[in-house]
Amino acid sequence: MKRLARASFPVLIAALAAGACSPAGTDTGGSREPGTKEITFLTFETPNLDAAYWDDAIARAEKKVPGLKVKKLVAPSIDRTGYAKQLLASGQFPDLLVSVSPVGFAEAGAMAAWTDQELEPFTFPQSNPIGGKIYQLPYNTQPIPLVYYSKTLFTKAGITAPPKTYQELLDACEKLKAQNIDPFVLGGGGKDAVASSYLWTALVGTDVYKKTPDWMSQRRAGKVSFNDADFKGATDKFVQLAKKGYIDKAALSRDYANTEKAFLAGKGAMYPMGSWFATAGDRSPMKDDIGVFAFPTDDGSPAVPAYTGGGMSVSAKSKHLKEAKEFALAFQQDKATLDAVVKGDGAIIAMKGYTPPTGMGPVYGATVTVYQDAVKNNGIVNSFLVETGDDALLPGLVEKSYALAQDIIAGLKNADQATKALDEDWAKADSK
């Protein structure tokens, strides 16, 4: 099998050559003061992390790097990695990127590695290595997904407690359907295709990664395939959930914001979502009605998919690499910024010595408890489609997996078809 670290991302390599003469960092007359160094920073905006959050955080970090001006760029959709690829291909790759998977970019030489000294403040400094090096600051742990649920709708359906086994989950779904309540609220419409995949992510975690933690590394080595029994079995569970009508097909037309609104409006009982939902839940009128549980395994043992990363990456071609790194580290270690992302996005901060702000709401508290219980019981697994290191999918396969998840929800593909398609796409990606 060909390693990703070789020329498996030709689009990025070509883009690097094309953009070499036009680096992102500039010294321009448009700067506030003569001699000011300007860098670009690709961010994103969500209902939880809005423009004000980014503007305030950037302003605080700028003060710690004298002579630096940061120009904010905002990704147009939840697919920040895809947008970063577009920017690289057009010679506009930013100096700084946040929450963008470094897979492909790092191997092609587009991103600069972080040193051990720079990583010292982080709790899990070696998270998601690529060729033994770290290209994204691992500042934040996110369980992806947990299952948030309406206590009222569970009670209406006669469900007295969150399901602990997969069979109990199926029983709960059946009770909810009997009361004309949609069991699961999913999204995935338009630009936010990722949300259609969260049940698949959960099932791969419980049925594949729980049993074989290094499964994706074995896939890279050619020892397993997606069409093998374990992975196909997890995928078939997803297929059956859709086939039984437990997933509202309206998911295929809802973007992220409207999916969140649908759950908070009582349009369904369970909402598989990343831990960042906790703060949105706590801001809602139904905060005391929202519970949370880990997606259940067959035997009831814990298997919580989680990802530690999400931080800054820096362009290897930045004209102001030193200052860009200084800004990134200042940004990630700023207490006010960390508190804001905890309050706004339900982050579980992975920084040494950090303590979260007091007064967090009940949904966030319950979220952290589920995560900590899984940690105590050796129940943390990788999060399928979220991994960004040497055990990640090959470039391009994440986006294709989202499309397959949508096909499964729509009833257009069964497990055998979906897993064979993944193997075929893998072979194509691995031959480049």
Q: Give yes or no for residue 28 having a pLDDT over 70.
A: no
Q: Given pLDDT bands bounded at 50, 70 and 90, which one contains residue 240?
A: very high
- Considering the domain architecture, whether residues 130 and 157 belong to the same structural domain is answered as no
pLDDT of residue 5: 34
Q: Give yes or no for residue 352 having a pLDDT over 80.
A: yes
- Considering the domain architecture, whether residues 109 and 224 belong to the same structural domain is answered as no
- Considering the domain architecture, whether residues 290 and 178 belong to the same structural domain is answered as yes
Q: Which residues have C-beta within 8 Å of that of residue 418, sequence separation ≥ 6?
A: 235, 239, 404, 407, 408
Answer whether 430's CB lies under 8 Å from 8's CB.
yes
pLDDT of residue 49: 87
Max avg pLDDT among 38-42, 45-49, 391-395: 38-42
Q: Give yes or no for residue 7 having a pLDDT over 50.
A: no
Measured between alpha carbons, how far is residue 273 from residues 44, 143, 157, 406, 423 in Å?
18, 9, 22, 16, 27
Total residue length of the chain = 432
pLDDT of residue 25: 60
Backbone torsions φ then ψ of 338, nearest 5 degrees = -65, -45
- Considering the domain architecture, whether residues 69 and 53 belong to the same structural domain is answered as yes
Containing domain of residue 135, as a range? Answer: 10-140+309-369
Q: Give yes or no for residue 243 having a pLDDT over 50.
A: yes
pTM exceeds 0.85: no
Does residue 374 belong to any structural domain of this protein?
no
Q: Give yes or no for residue 220 having a pLDDT over 80.
A: yes
pLDDT of residue 26: 52
pLDDT in tens, 138-155: 999 999 999 999 999 999
Determine the average pLDDT of the residues in 12-22: 39
**DSSP β-ladder status, 348-349 and 138-143:** antiparallel
Cβ of 317: how many Cβ atoms within 10 Å? 20
Determine the average pLDDT of the residues in 21-41: 62
What is the CA angle 415-419-423, rounded to 5?
170
Per the structure, the count of domains in the chain is: 2
The closest of 184, 90, 108 to 405, measured between CA atoms, is: 184
pLDDT in tens, 154-164: 999 999 999 99
pLDDT of residue 34: 53
Does residue 325 belong to any structural domain of this protein?
yes
Last residue of a domain, one of 340, 369, 398: 369
pLDDT of residue 22: 40
Interatomic CA distance for residues 325 and 316, integer angstroms: 10
Q: Which residues have C-beta within 8 Å of that of residue 340, sequence separation ≥ 6?
A: 53, 56, 57
pLDDT of residue 33: 59
Q: Supply the CATH number for residue 390's domain.
A: 3.40.190.10
- Considering the domain architecture, whether residues 131 and 113 belong to the same structural domain is answered as yes
pLDDT in tens, 87-132: 999 999 999 999 998 988 999 999 999 999 999 999 999 998 999 9
- Considering the domain architecture, whether residues 256 and 396 belong to the same structural domain is answered as yes
CA torsion 423-424-426-427 (nearest 10°) is 120
Does residue 64 belong to any structural domain of this protein?
yes
Q: Given pLDDT bands bounded at 50, 70 and 90, which one contains residue 30?
A: very low
What is the overall mean pLDDT for the chain?
Answer: 90
Does residue 425 belong to any structural domain of this protein?
yes
- Considering the domain architecture, whether residues 154 and 41 belong to the same structural domain is answered as no
pLDDT in tens, 260-294: 999 999 999 999 999 999 999 999 999 999 999 99
Does residue 2 belong to any structural domain of this protein?
no
What spatial distance separates the first Cα and last Cα of the chain, rounded to whole Å?
11
Element (H, E) at 73: strand 68-74
More confident residue, 117 or 33: 117
Cβ of 185: how many Cβ atoms within 10 Å? 29
pLDDT of residue 430: 87
pLDDT of residue 24: 56
Sign of CA dihedral 126, 99, 145, 388: negative
pLDDT of residue 35: 62
- Considering the domain architecture, whether residues 126 and 154 belong to the same structural domain is answered as no
Interatomic CA distance for residues 89 and 409, integer angstroms: 33
Any idea which of 11-20, 60-69, 243-252, 343-352 has the lowest mean pLDDT? 11-20
Cis status, amide bond into 145, omega within 30 of 0: yes
Does residue 376 belong to any structural domain of this protein?
no
Q: Which two tokens stand for residue 225?
A: 């395939």
